[in-house]
Amino acid sequence: MSELKQVWPEKYALRYREKGYWRGETMSGFLAQRARETPDRIAVIGGEQRWTYAGLLERANENAARFLALGLRPGERVVVQLPNIPEFLSVVFGLFRANLIPVFALPAHRVTEISHFVEKAQASAYVITAGDGGFDYRVLAREVRARAIGLRHVVVIGDAEEFRALDYIPCSEQALPPLPSPAEVAFLQISGGSTGLPKLIPRTHDDYIYSFRASADICGLGKDSVFMAALPVAHNFPMSSPGVFGALYAGSRIVMCPSPSAEAAFALIEQERVTMTGVVPPLALLWMQAASTSKYDISSLEVLLVGGAKFMPEAASRVRAALGCTLQQVFGMAEGLVNYTRLDDPDDIIVNTQGRPISPDDEVLIVDDYGNPVADGEPGQLLTRGPYTIRSYHNDDAANARAFTEDGYYRTGDIVSRTGEGYLVVRGRAGDHINRAGEKVSAEEIEDQLLAHPGVFDAAVVSIPDPYLGERSCAFIIPKGESPGVAALKAFVRGRGLAEFKVPDQIVFVGAFQTTAVGKVNRKVLRQQLREQFLKTVPRGL
Ligand code: OOB
């Protein structure tokens, strides 16, 4: 089994400990502490369920004993694919308590992605819910099991059919293992990067707890706060910025919202007196529009976090009037660095910037194509390292060589500028992915899928500005003879077992691609040319 590690050079690790960023806490340790301090306060609400801190801890410990009863051993990986339900927390904290390593898949992922995670992480188990949003995850689990050798267990919340129902696994009698070292990897996050299939991001207890503890502080979460998870909670943003983990750390109450629609979200905000939640820009636009005619009282909402993709200043300036709350912009990445506007920042900063880093020890470099720092206000590539930014991906030498500099900076692929006060403004990006309403789609990954179609000679996938999604995907296809047709090609990609958000939004058939002077197609240049051609010939917004 390839070793799981995330290591900062000793001098940095020492500094991060000395400065009190890394305090030696663990995921299981902090939850147990909260349960001791405030056992009877509500920790999480979802559907008909309301669990106290003591109740969440008890369920997590029971689940830990069940996972051990399956024969899983500390350090083994478990892919978790669960929607926004309280069991997300009892499963994940159960895994933490058994020293098992969750790998966080999104509910939208399908057989191609899940099998990739199982193989890449060498996972032994896969935890799902029977069904959600009209989708039967047991059908998916069958497909995954047929492909992913090494997967020993499928554990289901709800009706398990031929798999193991979590609630009916007898708890192991053996003692729970000692808590892990805080420097160990706690889980694997998924990257939304620009090349190929998603990469796995190992995060340690030390670094991740620092990021959400500090986030909870910056966002003003406390014991009386009610945090609603509206986006799929497996995403880094609703998980830790400040997210459900930040909320638990602060002793707040969590509301699991099953769908981010304005109707579902507003009903829960009214019912549970939610004070804070986070959304991607397209949802913020929808919510602002819906609020003007909504019958719900959302006056309890104090802070709306918006991030995952660029929130345009025009829209940002309308949040307070439309929703009656403070906007907090968040620009982060599953690899680490997270920036926030501060709650007491002047409106000009809140509206026009994507915030500044969490930590005084977040090192931010903005450089030109030759690696030279640019002046404030000038756009450049964002590189970063710090106390919660990873130094390497899991088991991926090629990606590591591309994504990290020799002195340990992560190349974010984002083009940003910095204001005189140290706030970042996102201006674009260097890498080729489509940021579709906050979901990152790798152009290369979709091109690979399209090329598998017998009627496709060549394919180039590009991002096109979209007034609602921010960006959408457009695939330019050179057919091999007769065109396979748009609908058939979309159905083909869908049939390859990918998240729905990866199916090209648009498909355009062309006769040829321009080639560069030497006759070789540079994919980056080609994508740029196609994007420009498209924007010249098709009116914006279509
Ligand atoms: C969040 O994480 P990821 O890993 O899904 O995506 C990271 C990328 C960034 O590199 C950037 O390209 C884009 O998403 N992004 C933004 C943004 N926030 C993220 N681009 C413009 N403006 C923003 N406010 O998306 C994520 C993780 C933690 C907190 C928030 C978002």
Nearest atom, ligand 1, residue 330 CA: 24
- pLDDT digits 0-9 by tens, 48-60: 999 999 999 999 9
How far from 64 is each of 94, 108, 212, 528, CA to CA, in Å? Answer: 4, 26, 23, 50
Relative to the CA of 413, which ligand 1 atom is closest?
Answer: 10
The confidence score (pLDDT) of residue 541 equals 43
Encoded amino acid at 136, one letter: D
Q: What is the mean pLDDT of residues 317-331?
A: 98
Which pLDDT tens digit goes with each residue over 256-301? 999 999 999 999 999 999 999 999 999 999 999 999 999 999 999 9
Percent of the chain with pLDDT over 70: 97
HSE-up of residue 353 (Cα within 13 Å, Cβ side): 22
Residue 519 has pLDDT above 80, yes or no: no
Model confidence at 7: pLDDT above 80 = yes
Give distance in angstroms: CA of 497 to centre of ligand 1: 25
Q: pLDDT at residue 514 above 80?
A: no
The pLDDT tens digits for 165-184 are 999 999 999 999 999 999 99
Q: Which pLDDT score, from 0 to 100, does residue 516 have? A: 55
Beta bridge mates, 338 = 332
How confident is the prediction for the chain on average, in pLDDT? 95
Closest CA relative to residue 270, chosen from 299, 293, 247: 299
DSSP run (H or E) holding 146:
helix 137-147
Ligand 1 nearest atom to the CA of residue 307, by list position: 24
Mean pLDDT of 509-522: 73
Of all atoms in ligand 1, which is nearest to the CA of residue 305?
30
Atom of ligand 1 nearest to the CA of 438: 25
Q: Which residues line ligand 1 (CB under 6 A)?
A: 192, 236-237, 241, 307-310, 329-334, 338, 354, 412, 414, 426, 429, 435, 438, 440
The C-alpha atoms of residue 175 and residue 64 are separated, in whole angstroms, by 10
Atom 25, ligand 1: which residue's CA is nearest? Answer: 308
Lowest mean pLDDT among 75-84, 217-226, 433-442: 433-442
The rounded Å distance from CA 93 to ligand 1 centre is 25
Distance 87 CA to ligand 1 centre (A): 26
Kind of pairing between the strands at 164-165 and 153-157: parallel
Segment 89-116 shows an average pLDDT of 97
Rounded to 10 degrees, the C-alpha dihedral 227/217/309/424 comes to 160
Which of ligand 1's atoms lies nearest the C-alpha of 235? 5
Q: What is the pLDDT of residue 515?
A: 67
Q: Has residue 21 got a pLDDT over 60?
A: yes
Cβ(282)–Cβ(231) under 8 Å?
A: no
Residue 149's pLDDT band, with cuts at 50, 70 and 90, is confident
User: What is the average pLDDT across 8-21?
Assistant: 98
Q: Which helix (H) or strand (E) holds 410?
A: strand 410-418
Percent of the chain at pLDDT exceeding 90: 91
What spacing in Å lies between the alpha carbon of 511 and ligand 1's midpoint?
Answer: 36
In the predicted model, is pLDDT for residue 517 greater than 70? no
Whether residue 385 contacts residue 408, with contact meaning beta carbons closer than 8 Å, is answered with yes
**Complex-level ipTM:** 1.00
Mean pLDDT along residues 469-479: 95
Nearest residue (by CA) to ligand 1, atom 20, is 309
Whole-structure pTM value: 0.96
Kindly report, residue by residue over 237-258, the tens digit of the pLDDT: 999 999 999 999 999 999 999 9
Please count the CA atoms within 13 angstroms of the CA of 454 that sit on its side-chain side. 0
- Closest ligand 1 atom, residue 335 Cα: 4
Least Cα distance to 442 among 413, 484, 409 occurs for 413
Q: Which ligand 1 atom is at minimum distance from the Cα of 439?
A: 5
Distances (CA, A) of 379 to 375, 383, 386, 431, 434: 8, 12, 21, 15, 20
User: Which pLDDT score, from 0 to 100, does residue 194 have?
Assistant: 67
Contact assessment for residue 111 and residue 139, using Cβ atoms and an 8 Å cutoff: no
pLDDT in tens, 408-418: 999 999 999 99
Q: What is the mean pLDDT of residues 323-339?
A: 98
Q: Where does the pLDDT of residue 85 fall: very low under 50, low under 70, confident under 90, or very high at 90 and above?
A: very high
Closest residue to atom 3 of ligand 1, CA basis: 333
Residues 6+ apart with CB under 8 A from 533: none
Identify how many contiguous H helices and E strands the chain contains and give both numbers. Answer: 18, 27
| pLDDT band at residue 542 under the 50/70/90 scheme | very low
Could you tell which of 191, 241, 333 is best to mutate to test the pocket of ligand 1, judged by most ligand atoms within 8 Å of the CB?
Answer: 333
Is the model's pLDDT at 526 over the cut of 60?
A: yes
What separation in Å is there between the alpha carbon of 329 and the centre of ligand 1? 11
Task: Tell me phi and psi for residue 42, to 5 degrees.
Answer: -75, 130
What is the whole-number distance in angstroms between the Cα of residue 437 and the centre of ligand 1?
A: 10
The mean per-residue pLDDT over the stretch 118-139 comes to 97
- Three-state DSSP at 502 gives helix
Q: How far is the CA of 309 from the centre of ligand 1 (A)?
A: 6
Helix axes 443-451, 523-537, angle to 10 degrees: 90
* Cα 48 to ligand 1 centroid, rounded to whole Å: 32
Residue 521: the pLDDT is 63
pLDDT of 196 reads 75
User: Ligand 1, residues 200, 319, 331: which to mutate, most atoms within 8 A of Cβ?
Assistant: 331
